Structure 1
Amino acid sequence: MARQPKSLFRCESCGAEAPKWAGQCADCGAWNTLVEVPTGAASGTGRGGRRSPSAAPRTWQLQEVSTAEDPRHPTGLAELDRVLGGGLVPGSVILLGGDPGIGKSTLLLQTLASLAADHRVLYVTGEESLSQVTLRARRLGVEGQDVRLLAETGVERILDAAAAESPGVLVIDSIQTMMSEEVQSAPGGVAQVRESASRLVRYAKDHDVALFLVGHVTKEGTLAGPRVLEHMVDTVVYFEGDGSSRWRMVRAIKNRFGAVNELGVFAMGDRGLKPVANPSAIFLSRHEEPVAGSIILVTREGTRPLLVEIQALVDDSALSNPRRVALGLEQNRLSMLLAVLHRHAGVAMQDQDVYVNAVGGVRIAETAADLAVLGACISSFRDRPLPTDLVVFGEVGLAGEIRPVPNGEERLNEAAKHGFTRAIVPRANAPRRAIEGMTVEPVGRLAEVLDLL
């Protein structure tokens, strides 16, 4: 029989195995990621290449599985509960990412202080000392709560402490500082992050513990570490915001227990983060008099309609290639919309610099902003202010048609609550019943929109 190799080489990035070391992984193309591992650890087989015998796992029929809804525990922060789908689910794992200093540790410390009244909570810090965490808790006014603290980076010791404390909620700050004795690499590496997260997630599932993992982000804004980290957890939440602004936004991009793309808004103050009950108010600028280049859009984040002011500045360009700048919106889509405006409305801006901004730092990814972007650009280009009681939404197609967007009636009801009396919407989004105090003008082509504006 051929001799079994004593070790194999596994890629830390994708997990592919190779019989010998190479500078580049043949599967994913990553460089210098192959590390030597024992044969048994790589293949999971017993002696002679045969898998060790074990009892076959039981299978279940679909109708035999219990469908009882998981109980949820409110965190005490209404905006965080909205993002999580109603509260914490026992055994769930939440990965929280964000820029340094954005407020991740502050949010979690406030959450634990609120949950400590009814649950045992444990805060594990791998980046700060216990005195630093205590000083932050004193600044936030939560030092009197029964929050257990642990400064440790070894996963094995953390699991031993968790077994002794039996917490209902566990926070790991951060996963990039954790290390396992079973992996021979530095903390923060792909193998260490994957192994540490795997062991912590397994503990949370086995003991019905709600687990928060704080993750670092790269300069591109994505979570650092292996991509498999996002697949291992139940919920991925990003903490967004400008460091110079007091507004912070928490957005869920993955949630197995609720809707994705939910948005929670917080205000950062001296006493920590406070939920903002009416976020539309911070995204609207109340001008003393109508100004050109401003229009109100009714967008939708998750299950919540939001009113956001879209501003545009169109000015003569001194460059051979005029600038197209979009803040909070997609820049390529702005160029496409200007081409549609020229082709189907005869408004040419080839010699103009166009700047578009979503007020308040919010990022808008949906196509419902098309009509608002064009309305703001035309208003600035013609230097004609639009009515302050007007809201718009709708997608603009390449043929100049105005296409409908989801949940049109909910958007109109939200606008009516804030005192807006006129709306320009796609024809398919016209409400079946009249909305009290609001005049809705449905449109089907871009030319109709220009006539109304």
Structure 2
Amino acid sequence: MAKDAPFVCSACGAAHAKWSGQCDACGAWNTLVEQGALSQGPGAKKLAARGSRLELTDLGGEAEEAPRTAAGVAELDRVLGGGLVAASAILLGGDPGIGKSTLLLQAAARFARGGMEVLYVSGEESAAQIQLRARRLGLAESPVKLAAATNLRDILTTLDAAPPGLVIIDSIQTIWHDGLDAAPGSVSQLRAVAQELVSFAKRRGSALILVGHVTKEGALAGPRVIEHLVDTVLYFEGERGHAFRLLRAVKNRFGPADEIGVFEMTGKGLAEVKNPSALFLSDREAEVPGTAVFAGIEGTRTLLCEIQALVAPAPPGQSRRSVLGLDAGRLNMLLAVLDARAGISFAGHDVYLNVAGGLRITEPAADLAIAAALLSAREGRPLPSLCVFFGEISLSGALRPVPQTENRLKEAQKLGFTSAALPRLSRRGGAGRTQMRLRDMDEIASFVAEMFGEASGEAPAAPEAAPGHRQES
């Protein structure tokens, strides 16, 4: 094999001397593809020449805060950390049809109306298609410049002639470098195109937004080196059957990571959601077994959502576990803890778990709300409708405290909730003076007795015992 054409992993970008079924760097299977050389740059002999001396500084030096330009879309500005930073590079990913182009077109129109020169380059649609969408969204009068191109050389020539304040490339998988023989969207093309565009943004002071495709697992397609090249990585999430859309920052050099912005898809585009907690709980049915309200933290905001569970008898040896919006491994762990530490078995039962509204939760603080919903569904007894749940459950069955307890309680009280179930050692700060009734417990067994047992602390009795049902001892 030629030295300048190694095999490259399409998942992580690692180079390999020969093909193999599994990448040694990331462990992915069947991802090694043969790629050509990235460039015909100077050889090692030329690089050996002496360069200029670097200017050094110390950690105590004065550093100016990066200037920002607000988009006027509050949820987008929140995720970006306060606005768009000049000379920054942003990578936006999401499922096809989720609304990425709609969001960027609305943001581009806001920036352009604020006086920023914006260039929107589309490699997937023609300029006429974008104009039709702009008219449908009521943005036709916005001074946004459009272009339909896929050749990187033509794009860079246009940008160098008059560098705009913001450049949007939709999408990077369609742009190709004419110096490479690989097809557009391949590992070498993506890496070369991203490097050239990011280099232009840093050199000329233009902000850059790249739209990226995602794989069937939901990760950004292409080598991870692209995510390292950019300053911010955003994911646009949402379920097709729901109107809610979440813009999540997983990397941000100019603001907090894991921040989210909430939008609602309407006939006139994406509308901002000022109070997402009230929206996610708007269709909630009170006094229904198997539902629990979780007070979670997403970035810098508190978000209340409903966790739904369904437990039904299953044929022997054919029990199912289905999860939407949560980690399936976390569910299996909680079922094992409930069995081993609280004496409540879910063997012989199908278990279905869902987060209402299409939200995805990764916070361990949801453990207590998940356990409450599971127990409520299994026993057929509804939880108090005005009670919120949060807390982490350890393998020993202990309830571990979670951060920002005070913020969770304040948000719940603002929405009319009157009580909260939480770990006893939670640092509540000023929340101890709240009007809410706090049910704090040390372990999962005491939580089961408190929420489902009788006043004497006896184990709850289900109306009808299903096969495989085992009561608390």
With normalisation by structure 1, the TM-score equals 0.92
2:73 paired with 1:73: no
- Does the 8 Å contact 1:17/1:42 carry over to 2? no
CA distance in 1 between partners of 2:334 and 2:69 (Å): 45
Root-mean-square deviation over aligned CA pairs? 2.3
Q: 2:303 aligns with which of 302, 306, 310?
A: 306
Q: 2:355 aligns with which of 343, 358, 364?
A: 358
* Range moving further from structure 2, 6-15 or 51-60: 6-15
> Match for residue 402 of structure 1?
399
CA 1:65–1:177: 2 relative to 1, 3 Å: farther
CA distance in 2 between partners of 1:200 and 1:432 (Å): 48
SS at match of 2:309: strand
> Match for residue 372 of structure 1?
369
2:209 paired with 1:221: no
The Cα shift of 1:360 comes to 0.7
The Cα shift of 1:444 comes to 0.8
SS at match of 2:214: coil
CA 1:382–1:70: 2 relative to 1, 3 Å: same
> Match for residue 33 of structure 2?
33
The Cα shift of 1:441 comes to 2.1
- Does the 8 Å contact 2:307/2:370 carry over to 1? yes
SS at match of 1:339: helix
CA 1:264–1:179: 2 relative to 1, 3 Å: same
- Does the 8 Å contact 1:106/1:273 carry over to 2? yes
CA distance in 2 between partners of 1:64 and 1:371 (Å): 44
CA distance in 2 between partners of 1:370 and 1:23 (Å): 43
Which aligned pairs between 1:228-307 and structure 2 lie closer than 5 A? 228-285=225-282, 287=284, 289-307=286-304
The amino acid across from 2:239 in the alignment is D
- Does the 8 Å contact 1:7/1:36 carry over to 2? no
Structure 2 gap ranges (5+):
452-473
Deviations 1:199-236 (A, max 9, x none): 00000011111100000111221111122111111111
CA distance in 2 between partners of 1:125 and 1:61 (Å): 41
> Match for residue 199 of structure 2?
202
- Does the 8 Å contact 2:8/2:32 carry over to 1? no
- Does the 8 Å contact 1:260/1:302 carry over to 2? yes
- Does the 8 Å contact 1:409/1:431 carry over to 2? yes
- Does the 8 Å contact 2:172/2:211 carry over to 1? yes
CA distance in 2 between partners of 1:142 and 1:42 (Å): 44
CA 1:396–1:137: 2 relative to 1, 3 Å: same
Q: 1:429 aligns with which of 426, 440, 452?
A: 426
> Match for residue 45 of structure 1?
44
The amino acid across from 1:33 in the alignment is V
> Match for residue 417 of structure 1?
414
CA 1:292–1:132: 2 relative to 1, 3 Å: same
With normalisation by structure 2, the TM-score equals 0.88
> Match for residue 3 of structure 1?
none
CA distance in 2 between partners of 1:124 and 1:288 (Å): 46
The amino acid across from 1:450 in the alignment is V
CA distance in 2 between partners of 1:102 and 1:287 (Å): 25
The amino acid across from 1:53 in the alignment is A
> Match for residue 90 of structure 1?
86
- Does the 8 Å contact 2:413/2:436 carry over to 1? yes
Percent of pairs identical after alignment? 47
- Does the 8 Å contact 1:75/1:87 carry over to 2? yes
CA 1:323–1:94: 2 relative to 1, 3 Å: same
- Does the 8 Å contact 1:168/1:208 carry over to 2? yes
The Cα shift of 1:289 comes to 4.3
CA distance in 2 between partners of 1:300 and 1:31 (Å): 36
The amino acid across from 2:33 in the alignment is T
Structure 1 gap ranges (5+):
1-5
> Match for residue 164 of structure 1?
161
CA 1:207–1:42: 2 relative to 1, 3 Å: closer
The Cα shift of 1:54 comes to 3.8
CA 1:408–1:32: 2 relative to 1, 3 Å: closer
CA 1:285–1:319: 2 relative to 1, 3 Å: farther
- Does the 8 Å contact 2:7/2:19 carry over to 1? no
CA 1:360–1:194: 2 relative to 1, 3 Å: same
CA 1:12–1:44: 2 relative to 1, 3 Å: farther
> Match for residue 324 of structure 1?
321
Deviations 1:298-356 (A, max 9, x none): 01111111101111111111241311222111112112111211222221221211111
Number of residue equivalences: 442
2:126 paired with 1:129: yes
The Cα shift of 1:180 comes to 1.4
